[in-house]
Amino acid sequence: MSDWKQLCAVDDIPVLGARRLKRARGADVAIFRTEGERVFALLDRCPHKGGPLSQGIVFGERVACPLHNWSIGLADGCAAAPDEGSTQRFSLKVEDGQVFVDVEELATLAIDELPACAGACEHAA
């Protein structure tokens, strides 16, 4: 059984945009809101070169990485072909207009991932 933490109201996330959730360890988590009012959570790090997905353009149920325009699925974190790779997806739920995230997943998933990188940085591959 999951332990859920209230994060914010759905309305606190811009339509076709994102919010970042900082974690004590590992890269931040990006919380996305689509035009259709669906909400998703992914590690805020593109699988290609580590770009900050929270700064990307949300379209449909995908986000375009701001560094190299890789298209990442919000539901599964997978890159669209011909690109390959994926980013960690996190469970969340929406109840009464409030967004909740899974506390255990935040503390354990992808905690060794480096933070996203918007420009030249030392840990970019």
What pLDDT score was predicted for residue 125?
44
Q: How far apart are CA 10 and CA 38, in angstroms?
A: 9
The answer to whether position 124 is within a domain reads no
The answer to whether position 113 is within a domain reads no
The number of domains in the chain is 1
**Mean pLDDT to the nearest integer, 71-76:** 98
The answer to whether position 59 is within a domain reads yes
The answer to whether position 117 is within a domain reads no
The answer to whether position 46 is within a domain reads yes
Residue 84 sits in a domain whose CATH number is 2.102.10.10
The answer to whether position 116 is within a domain reads no
**124 pLDDT more than 80:** no
Q: What is the pLDDT of residues 8-47, one digit of tens each?
A: 999 999 999 999 999 988 899 999 999 999 999 999 999 9
**Mean pLDDT to the nearest integer, 68-86:** 96
- SS3 of residue 103 by DSSP: helix
Range scoring the smallest mean pLDDT among 12-16, 33-37, 110-114, 119-123: 119-123
Residue 17 sits in which domain range? 4-108
Q: How far apart are CA 88 and CA 42, in angstroms?
A: 6
The answer to whether position 42 is within a domain reads yes
